[in-house]
Structure 1
Amino acid sequence: MYSNRQLLLLGGTIALSAMSCSQSAEKPKPNVLFILADDLGYYDLSCMGSSFYETPNIDRIAQEGVVFTNGYAACQVCSPSRASIMTGKFPARHGITDWIGAPVGENWRKLQRHNKLLPPNYVFQLDSSYLTLPEAMKQAGYKTFFAGKWHLGDKGSWPEDHGFDVNIGGWHAGSPIGGYYSPYNNPNLENRKDGENLSMRLAEETVAYLKANNPAETGQPVFAFLSFYAVHGPIQTTEEKWQKYREKAAQAGIAESGYEMGHFLPIRQVQDNPVYAGLVESMDDAVGRVLSSLEELGLDENTIVIFTSDNGGVSAGDSFSTSNLPLRGGKGYQFEGGIREPYFIKVPGLTKGGTKSDVPVSGTDFYPTILDLAGITQLPDEHADGVSLLPVLQGKSLPERPLVWHYPHYGNQGGEPSSIIRLGDWKLIHYYEDGREELYNLKTDMEEKHDLASVQPEKVDELHARLFDYLHEVNARFPEKDPEYDAELEKAHLERVEKNRMPQLEKQRLHYLSEDFNPNNNWWGSQVTKD
């Protein structure tokens, strides 16, 4: 007996043989270049409003395509969002609700955070029964290529196991284990020369694949997925880029303090980190290399380019890299800073440069949208929570529909176990520690400063019902109370964080900005091949 996925793949193979006779007479299918940044915040691009970071190449995608100002990742941390792009399903449905590797249940206590809840178990790899986006593209005649961060399972659940013909650098790790300069310590990325930049290497691998499989010559379209490890910590850059941004920060005036205490951790309030800024620019340089190659190869007029991020910028936890203000919070948080992303789609001949849409959209929508743009039949049983954005790209509207986030975990950045629903302008957050709910009108209060739950009880009830109807329908998992919870221990832990961590972070921030900053005396190994 064949599974549904096997039947779909078999049907695709048969269809391909039939297509080969007539394809030459048809308009060639568009190529797709999907660029996914890691941990890049909504305001971490100059085209999105940053006056500190400089990103001319990524800006160009926005300027030539449609910018979705209410574009969202499917989760506030990476693995769930990435799984949602691949499957078109919200995390509560596919079951990867935290970054793969995060502790659950009683193991959470080992972190000594003394929280009220024990996080539930979650799925630890992308389900092989799903027909993923790359598999659907392959079925429709596309060559498929992946480069960069995967983080959707260990060996046996790598990119090549889910529809990609080629995998360069994708494995179980969620961060650049060897750093951003070779040697990379990555089993799927060969070291070529010490000091080589990781982001540019991934770009060069993408360019090399496009050259070797040029659709303009082969007639076979390409789906290329460039998944940067940048700008995930550990943050690193070159001396030249650090110097550029250190001077820029000094000219703007260095703030006396850069952090405020959040619920669990300090949260960065300013964009003045010259190391992070250099890392952002290096990724932008790499994007520029790939965009230039499309022109050099004659592919730019028939290649859809998509750019987004997997979750909000890291304002707390990890490397405390950036500020997402005026959005509240950041990576790991239930607020807009944790889930709202740069979200750009450029379709030659369709999208008009500089167009903006305020339609709320999700990472789940890429799957059906790409199928639609490529003229491939929709697979609604697969991309169950996504909708095609083709009408919006054509200047039309979409019916209002709910977006759902389910993160019943604490994570590393200070967010709280919660579930979220957005419907129209309204956003409801349900907190699992105490069952409270917050309601925001994002049209008038994007910063989430004014909780309207007490004055809009009917709206709270409506959204609560819709949220939990969905969560129960997909058999979502929920956290449980920790029977060993001790409020005094948690209070003491939080007091230590504020007393000790805050000063450490402020000291580190000023160290990055000091004139004598010189990490490792070779800038994380970047000076080995310095020209």
Structure 2
Amino acid sequence: MPTARLARFVLLLCGLLLIVGTRASAAEQKPNIVFILIDDLGWSDLGCYGNTFVETPHVDRLAQQGVRFTDFYAAGAVCSPTRASIQSGQYQARLGITDFIPGHWRPFEKLIVPEVTGQLPLDIVTPAEVLQGAGYRTGYFGKWHLGGRDHNPDKQGYGTTVVTGGRHFAPRFRTTPRVDIEDGTYLADFLTDQTVDFIEENREEPFFVFLSHYAVHIPLEAKPQTVAKYEDKPKPEAGINNPTYAAMIEHVDDSVGRIMAKLDELDLAENTLLVFTSDNGGLRQTYTGTGPIVTSNAPLRGEKGELYEGGIRVPLIVRWPGVAPQGAVCDEPTISIDFWPTFAEAAGAQLSQHQTIDGLSLLPVLRDPQASLDREAIYFHYPHYHHNRPASAIRAGDWKLIEYFETGNVELFNLEQDISESRNVAGQRPERVVRLKRQLAQWRDSVDAKMPRPNPKHDPERADEWWSRRTRKPLAK
């Protein structure tokens, strides 16, 4: 073979080998993981879940590029329990974090409810600790609500952290560690800045970043120009029609758009597992019955702070190019304890030395959204007074049973036929009630769920008084 032709052949062969090697290397890469948690976002608050008032183009585009889950549940009806479930992979009843920390208190009600564990135990192995062991850089930005400084995310495997608390505009929110912030800065923008900076700085290594927004939690606060847009927009008769709340949702949608743009800019999107969800259902109105009407979770019944679907069924969208099909919908019941094993499996992390994991990896339903997971039921335990009475619940297939602890009464719903939980069919299905009650009780025993007990100081005339666990005094109405 002539020398020139031989040289061209060698160059061509080397090029082919380089392409094959590059593709093999890309296939073996650990995916980056970006987890975006919104606070109090309801199931029907987004355009891709049927909302026609609020504008969420970036989240809607994310749904078009990934898998949208219709039957995904926050493990808790309020924030701290769900956050504990995400960080532990366990039902939060195992940890005693069954209400927000430090929890509600009604000292004259029929039942004394369990006191809440005040922090995520440091011996819990979080996803960040698992992923650090697999070579990941880790970051956490935003609300934590799982304990004070000695139990912050920097003590739980998150290498770069800024924990925030307070309200939505500087200087009315605080940061740990302290960061100088210009007055008037919107918290959602600040947290997004931190997150995109983390992605930029760690783009050469696999990373796991947890963006934990405080929006759309009350107090309702948003940028005036966005509020004005929704004040001028024709309002639907039902659903979201609070202009400030709609503006807050748009602000977190903008946050998602900025993160998607940064991943595109750095050519990281194709190798990034991006998750968007909420910590509990939407809030209609504060538990004291005062303040503005915030939202509606219709067609779901109920709201944050109760075990009807409106309190626990929330949006979940997952984008993972090359793994999760674009524009797919998954109807399989899933729950926030499933994130821990999902992230561990995606990263190829070793699991044998870690704590009991109650969740299941979502990878089977990400690869095939029509697949099923191998479990009989998912469970909920909220033995506290809030928007409803202390209760537990079980969902097994299309059936859901709620058991109330004051009376022992139960409600049974077929969610396939009655997503609004408007028809209690317990009286028509006594055998199913017995079976599900038994299954729920066995689960409570298995996780050592703390139960309420009779209150010797019960006073019907004062039963509706709310007291502060911090001050040990009544809350002003």
TM bin, normalised by shorter chain, reads 0.7 to 0.9
CA 379–316 in structure 1, closer or farther in 2 if over 3 Å, else same: farther
Aligned to 2:95: 94
* Mapped partners of 1:103, 1:243: distance in 2: 35
- Structure 2: any 5+ residue segments left out of the alignment? 1-23, 467-476
Q: Does 1:286 align with 2:262?
A: no
Q: Does 1:458 align with 2:431?
A: yes
Aligned to 2:120: 126
Task: Give the AA of the match of 1:160.
Answer: D
Aligned to 2:187: 198
* Mapped partners of 2:171, 2:248: distance in 1: 15
Report SS of the residue matched to 1:169: strand
- Structure 1: any 5+ residue segments left out of the alignment? 1-22, 171-175, 256-268, 495-504, 506-531
* Match of residue 143, structure 2, among 138, 149, 160: 149
CA 243–333 in structure 1, closer or farther in 2 if over 3 Å, else same: same
* Match of residue 163, structure 1, among 157, 160, 164: 157
Task: Give the AA of the match of 1:292.
Answer: A
Task: Give the AA of the match of 1:374.
Answer: A
* Mapped partners of 1:478, 1:317: distance in 2: 25
* Mapped partners of 2:367, 2:25: distance in 1: 27
* Match of residue 301, structure 1, among 264, 267, 270: 270
1:192 positional shift: 2.1
Q: What does 1:28-427 correspond to in 2, within 5 Å?
A: 28-104=29-105, 108-109=106-107, 114-170=108-164, 176-215=165-204, 220-248=205-233, 251-252=234-235, 270-317=239-286, 320-379=293-352, 382=355, 384-395=357-368, 396-411=371-386, 414-427=387-400
1:479 positional shift: 0.9
CA 189–312 in structure 1, closer or farther in 2 if over 3 Å, else same: farther
TM-score computed with the length of structure 2 as normaliser: 0.88
Report SS of the residue matched to 1:351: coil
Cα deviations by residue, 1:46-82 (Å, 9 ceiling, x for unpaired) = 1111111111111222111111110000010000100
* Mapped partners of 1:383, 1:210: distance in 2: 31
Report SS of the residue matched to 2:182: coil
Task: Give the AA of the match of 1:390.
Answer: L
Q: Could you tell me whether the CA contact under 8 Å between 2:98 and 2:382 is conserved in 1?
A: yes
Cα deviations by residue, 1:160-196 (Å, 9 ceiling, x for unpaired) = 01110011124xxxxx414334452334351321111
1:24 positional shift: 7.6
* Mapped partners of 2:235, 2:76: distance in 1: 34
Q: Could you tell me whether the CA contact under 8 Å between 2:104 and 2:384 is conserved in 1?
A: no
1:379 positional shift: 4.8
What RMSD over aligned residues (CA atoms) do the two structures have, in Å? 2.1
* Mapped partners of 1:405, 1:381: distance in 2: 23
1:332 positional shift: 0.4
Q: Could you tell me whether the CA contact under 8 Å between 2:325 and 2:367 is conserved in 1?
A: no
CA 440–380 in structure 1, closer or farther in 2 if over 3 Å, else same: farther
Task: Give the AA of the match of 1:310.
Answer: D
Task: Give the AA of the match of 2:267.
Answer: G
* Mapped partners of 2:26, 2:74: distance in 1: 39
Task: Give the AA of the match of 2:382.
Answer: Y
Report SS of the residue matched to 2:35: strand
Report SS of the residue matched to 1:82: helix
CA 438–183 in structure 1, closer or farther in 2 if over 3 Å, else same: closer
* Mapped partners of 1:58, 1:388: distance in 2: 23
CA 201–189 in structure 1, closer or farther in 2 if over 3 Å, else same: farther
Identity of aligned residues (%): 42
Cα deviations by residue, 1:296-352 (Å, 9 ceiling, x for unpaired) = 111111111001100000013166421101101110011000000101111111111
1:490 positional shift: 4.4
Q: Could you tell me whether the CA contact under 8 Å between 1:368 and 1:383 is conserved in 2?
A: no
Report SS of the residue matched to 2:151: coil
Aligned to 1:501: none
Task: Give the AA of the match of 1:118.
Answer: I
TM-score computed with the length of structure 1 as normaliser: 0.79
- Report how many residues are paired: 438
Task: Give the AA of the match of 2:160.
Answer: V
Aligned to 1:7: none
* Mapped partners of 1:25, 1:351: distance in 2: 17
Report SS of the residue matched to 1:419: strand
